[in-house]
Amino acid sequence: VYSAAQVKADVTFLKYLCKKNKVQLKPETGLSRLIEECQAFLEADVVLDTKPLSVLFSLTASLRDLWVRDVAFEIQLRAMNQGNYMYGSTDKEHDHFFKDFEYEIFSAAQIVKAGLATSLPQHTVGEDLRVGDIEIQCKHPTTPNQVEGLMRDFRIRLNNENKYGVFGLAVEDCFGY
């Protein structure tokens, strides 16, 4: 059970990380909207949509896993300040940033929980994660047609740089989950 006290603690933790990483929250987008809707849930007398709570729960758990292991995520957190956190619906251009970078953070957290060292490059172009010499590309396409192009671009870059990699997909938006 995700108690009101835990929701409040997770909202506080997320606000702390935003402040610590100098993320200027933009109203009605990404992180700001998530925080606002979770706070509204705490203040409501009736049960509201619980989707924001599941995103908050997963995101703060992942951030906590990275934070305690000193894995930097400042750029990813800043990028999540743009876009929509509502999974299962396609987004306008650039509105997918929250989901793309949340997927990177989630993937990095799973890797460190498995006992492997990883890093999140502190830029938003190219590789998403690295485990040793293996590059991991995390993509969140909005249509099934994007997948082939994303995979082709990744393969070409790996071939040009003589590297190995893993291509990960989060597909809930392009299939409406």
Question: Tell me: the pLDDT tens digits for 64-109?
Answer: 999 999 999 998 999 888 877 776 555 566 556 788 889 999 999 9
* Residue in the block written with tokens 């799973």: 110
142-175 pLDDT, tens digit per residue, is 778 888 899 999 999 999 999 999 999 887 776 6
Task: Confirm if 126 and 104 have CB atoms less than 8 A apart.
Answer: no
pTM confidence score:
0.88
4-28 pLDDT, tens digit per residue, is 999 999 999 999 999 999 999 988 8
Lowest-pLDDT choice from 21-30, 60-69, 123-132: 123-132
DSSP secondary structure, 52-107, as one string: HHHHHHHHHHHHHHHHHTT---HHHHHHTTSS---TTS---TTTTHHHHHHHHHHH
